[in-house]
Structure 1
Amino acid sequence: MISALNGLVDLVEEQLTAELDVSGLAAKLGTTEYHLRRMFSSLAGMPLSEYVRRRRMTVAAADVIRSTDDLLAIAVRYGYGSTEAFGRAFRAVHGAGAGEVRRDGGPLRTQPQLRFRLTVEGSIPMDTRIADRPAFRLIGHAARVPLIHQGINPHIQQHVAALPVEESLRLKELSDTEPAGLLAVSDDLDPDRAEGSELTYLHGVALSGAVPVPGDLDVIEVPAGRWAVFRSSGPYPQALQQTWAATATEWFPANPWRLRPGPEIVAVLERAADFSTATCELWLPVEPASTAPGPTG
């Protein structure tokens, strides 16, 4: 996985002025674009799209300062159709317009080229199991919310708080399969996991195919497949978020599995009355990683 990510960084440098073919690279490396983007954003701390923009504007700044070309020619060279679009991207990275930087020589904010390295940690074993599950359904109450990486998501909190207490009891009675109990489901996630990007959040339960679904509930159909199930205990949501991060930094680089598209599910097994601490299971959809480069299917 580390070599695949460094291959992706090299591709960014080769294609700074062209469309980035992440899918083609992923196929050559025996992985998927979905998994590659997810691991990049988790380990780099920024979406791939943001890294590409910062690198392009870092290199473009040199052209702005030293080239005699007009700004439109430079904008087109870096894939922008107008000086306005180029100017917005340039200012977002450097904090100043291209014309100001050409005149004054700065300010410039450089994005260095990333290089991923494996750090040997793993002193705390991760409590994990692989579950092979038939198709099932996730049912409950869904809402579109923005992604927030740290702390409690107030949009999700408001969505759940608006539901009557008896509705959660009703849902728990409907649950008849794993993941057990009330679930926090994130679906339709941006592969880059960009902060503020929208996802579908569902407060609900898992249901086998044999049970009819009440008409007033939202449904997410989940196909058969394998899941990596991570157990976490401690302060909530900090312990869960740390486990989530460790899947990218420790577990996936050390195990022959990769993420596949699908919902990400949190099952709360036990919790304090005030929800200050909790024991949770994090369910991530996975598939075997290819052992050699080649087409993926």
Structure 2
Amino acid sequence: MDWLERMNNALDYIENNLDDEIDYKEIARAAYCSEFHFSRMFSSISGISLSEYIRRRRLTLAAFEFQKSDIRIIDVAVKYGYVSADSFSRAFQKTHGLKPSDARNNGVQLKAYPRISFQISIKGVVELEYRIENIDYELRIIGKSKPVKTSRAFKTIPTLWNSAKKDGFMQKLTDMSWEKPKCTLEGLLGVCGKEAAITDEEFNYFMGVRYDGESPNNMETIVIPPSAWAVFPNVVDAWKRLYSEWVPTAGYELANLPCIECYYGPKHKPRHELWVPINPK
């Protein structure tokens, strides 16, 4: 089963459960993808978050029901996962620009968001460099985590590092990272998701370093088990192309572990890399 078929299977699951409870774990399972990566993969390829896509599809079907029947607003609200008629009405008006009760009127203008269908398009022949690294021991990383909205990650994360530089936290991490070099993953690390799961709208960005010494009292510790990694130079470019270009054709599955941004010291080439956990198919 190829990548394209698996992703469309996940869309089938969503479509078949729009009027029922949708389990994000089941969506990822339908795609044969880790729960950690599916939401980010979906939003990267489609340009819309998974939760927003589901919301729009449900409100599209709700509008169809009002136009075709005299069903009560509260019944439609419950059917499509809303706890009250008020919360449903607010969401409906935000999407369609009018109240649910007005959707029954002839000649009103509504918005229909069609089902997404994944396809592979050829974007060019710009190479994407990568290498495979196998780390056969636990990565013990210490640092601090901050919540980041997924939609603003590219703006928020540089701000977090700038703040860490100003308050001395970055220098403290730098000093610790060079104490006992052990592998090529040595530098300032941005772990994208402290846990092996990520919500659709927000995740914890963990700023730290690989460190085997005793952890300071004011820092957290995460441990990542032995794993294989696909490593890409240039963090920003790698994020933009990972899910839409590399994953569909690479022959690897994404492991249910967080990705790591690695920022190296002066004169290191490349200056930064994206480490992506993988499993061979």
Quick check: TM above 0.5? Answer: yes
**What residue is the counterpart of 1:229 in the other structure?**
231
1:175 to partner: Cα distance: 5.1
1:60-94 CA distance string (max 9 Å, x none): 11112332122112222223332112213212322
**What residue is the counterpart of 1:191 in the other structure?**
198
Structure 1 residues 80-99: aligned runs within 5 Å = 80-99=82-101
**What residue is the counterpart of 1:114 in the other structure?**
116
**What residue is the counterpart of 2:188 in the other structure?**
182
The separation in 1 between residues aligned to 2:48 and 2:190, in whole angstroms, is: 24
Q: Secondary structure at the match of 2:264?
A: strand
**What residue is the counterpart of 2:143 in the other structure?**
140
Give the alignment partner of residue 163 of structure 1, picking from 142, 164, 167. 167
Can you give the 5+ residue segments of structure 2 that lack an aligned partner in the other structure? none
Give the alignment partner of residue 206 of structure 1, picking from 200, 203, 210. 210
**What residue is the counterpart of 1:294 in the other structure?**
none
The separation in 2 between residues aligned to 1:53 and 1:132, in whole angstroms, is: 40
**What residue is the counterpart of 2:52 in the other structure?**
50
2:230–2:278 CA contact under 8 A, matched in 1: yes
C-alpha spacing 1:198/1:162, structure 2 compared with 1 (3 Å): farther
C-alpha spacing 1:186/1:36, structure 2 compared with 1 (3 Å): closer
1:152-186 CA distance string (max 9 Å, x none): 54651454144326424423333523311222232
1:65–1:105 CA contact under 8 A, matched in 2: no
C-alpha spacing 1:28/1:161, structure 2 compared with 1 (3 Å): closer
Can you give the 5+ residue segments of structure 1 that lack an aligned partner in the other structure? 233-239, 290-297
**Aligned-residue RMSD, C-alpha:** 2.8
1:175–1:205 CA contact under 8 A, matched in 2: no
1:89-131 CA distance string (max 9 Å, x none): 2123223321233347544222121111111245122111121
Q: Secondary structure at the match of 1:228?
A: strand
Which amino acid counterpart does residue 231 of structure 2 have in structure 1? Answer: V
2:194–2:258 CA contact under 8 A, matched in 1: yes
1:232-273 CA distance string (max 9 Å, x none): 2xxxxxxx323212110111101122222333221223669x
Q: How many residues align?
A: 273
**What residue is the counterpart of 1:293 in the other structure?**
none
C-alpha spacing 1:158/1:109, structure 2 compared with 1 (3 Å): farther
1:187–1:199 CA contact under 8 A, matched in 2: yes
Give the alignment partner of residue 246 of structure 1, picking from 241, 244, 255. 241
The separation in 2 between residues aligned to 1:139 and 1:151, in whole angstroms, is: 23
Give the alignment partner of residue 275 of structure 2, picking from 247, 259, 283. 283
53-62 vs 104-113, which moves further: 104-113
1:32-81 CA distance string (max 9 Å, x none): 44444332222112222211110110111111233212211222222333
- Identity level (%): 28
